[in-house]
Amino acid sequence: MSTPAPPTPWGTTTALAAGAATGVLLLAVGLVLGRADVALLGVPALISATWGWTHRPEAPVTAEVHDDPDAPPGTLGARLHLHGPAGAQTVRVRVVAPGGETAERVLHLTGGARDVGVRARSARTGALPAFRVDLLAYGVEGVQEHGPVTTTGAPLLVLPRPAALRDLPSSPRLRGLAGPRTSRRPGDGSELRDVAAFGPGDSARRVDWRATARRSPDLDTLYVRRTYGTAEATVVLVVDSRDDVGSDLTTWGAGAPRHDEPTSLDLARHAAASVAQTVLDAGDRVALDDLGRLHRPVRPGGGRRHLRRVLHGLALARPVGEPSARLRAPQVPAGSAVYVFSTLLDDGAPRLARQWHDAGHVVVVVDTLPPVSLADAEPRVTVAWRIARREREDRVATLRRAGVDVVRWTPHLPGRHDGRVGPTEPDRPHDDTLGPATALHLAARRRSRDRRTTTTARNAR
């Protein structure tokens, strides 16, 4: 809903005086000079001014800003409803987005009402301020004027927009009796396990007549094709919402981040949404947990509706009060893969990632800290960042030595428009030449190769 300002009465514009003065002047000149054609030129101006004055609107023009439920992820969306009384013809509207982007339009009030959709691309996600709408209404012939009137809508909730990814590291321990993946237990599937004699519980549809004719010419024994069953993988997304920092180092701890650049939490939402969409498109299940809040997590599920539920949960993730450390890792389903999205600015998330890894889970840590800019930073702030940078590098190295994959989620930052120039983050704890999709794909291939090597060595014994 919207919060309209107090109504402003209609006022007379200079068009009334200009039209009346022009009409009277032309009539007078035509009468003095005896020129009927000149006198007739003043008649339209007088009629226009008189018509606008006699059709003066009695009520103000109102504007309401409503949420747009059809707005796609990553987009600021709202519906602007304009309603004017009889006599109100045109409205000049200026819409200001939360990031400061402005758009102006002149609209004609057809039948006294008009609905307009407002959308803008947003580098930020989650809860954002509302649109601000400024309008100026005009009556018939522009003689009457109403405004300016300022209206604001309800706060917006911008869902993260998933990106396309390739293969993802997953756990070899599958769950369920059906799914897109082939398990190691017998069941109904497409991958052949073996050919055996027909026994109790076997279906007649599984009879292999060629194998039966080859092994039992007298048909005294039937042979069936037994397959491996299918199952599904479970992926748990763990978002560390305790930190929400931007690229500008001077805004850490105090000051608001830039609206045209994503923060670390925006990158975490985007990365988690991309992983969730890839996993759900493959037919697996996804769960969501937040390290910043002690609340009931989003339970594992699948399908398009569950993706919307996960995106909504990611958009609601935000820092609440002082960051709290969890002594014990949250419980996750057995055999699931855990993706941790964190800035790695403290030991909380890496410690929990090592606990999950030691428990036998496949763990992938996604580093969501944006490239840090040292522009306008004081020397003491620069020294503090260098210390924090070295600590981050040590945490990344420790995780990789423990067998945990660490991937940097690199954002696409728009160009700066404020003229600031300064060095960016000098540390290189990751290989930034690889994009996140390629890095995750290589991690998945590496785990699959190691899994095949282990299976081969076990069978050789």
Q: What are phi and psi of 7, to 5 degrees?
A: -65, 145
The one-character DSSP state at 373 is: B
Model pTM score: 0.75
Three-state SS annotation for 73-121: CCEEEEEEEEECCCCEEEEEEEEECCCCCEEEEEEECHHHEEEEEEEEE
| pLDDT, one tens digit for every residue, the chain (461 residues) | 555 545 557 767 666 566 666 766 777 777 777 777 766 776 776 666 666 666 677 778 888 888 887 888 878 888 888 887 777 778 888 888 887 788 888 888 866 788 888 888 888 888 888 888 888 887 776 677 777 888 888 888 888 989 888 888 877 765 655 545 544 555 555 566 667 777 777 777 777 778 778 777 777 788 877 766 555 778 999 999 888 888 888 778 776 777 778 889 999 999 999 999 998 888 888 999 998 877 778 888 888 899 999 999 999 988 876 666 667 778 888 888 899 999 999 898 999 999 999 988 889 999 999 988 888 778 888 898 899 999 999 999 999 999 899 999 986 543 333 333 334 444 555 555 568 888 888 888 887 776 666 555 555 55
335 and 293, same structural domain?
Answer: yes
- The count of structural domains within the chain is 3
- Output the domain CATH number for residue 120: 2.20.130.20
Give CA–CA dist 92/376, Å, rounded: 40
- Are the CB atoms for 42 and 24 separated by under 8 Å? yes
304 and 220, same structural domain?
Answer: no
121 and 105, same structural domain?
Answer: yes
Written as one string, the DSSP assignment of 167-205 is -----S--BSS--SEEEEEESS-SSEEEEEE--TT--GG
Domain-embedded: residue 306:
yes
Per DSSP, the three-state class of 2 is: strand
Total number of residues shown for the chain = 461
- Are the CB atoms for 236 and 215 separated by under 8 Å? no
Pairing verdict, β 88-96 and 102-108 = antiparallel
Domain-embedded: residue 187:
no
- pLDDT score, position 221: 81
Distant-in-sequence, close-in-space partners of 188: CB < 8 Å, separation ≥ 6: 227, 229, 230
For residue 217, give its domain range. Answer: 192-229
355 and 278, same structural domain?
Answer: yes
- Are the CB atoms for 252 and 263 separated by under 8 Å? no
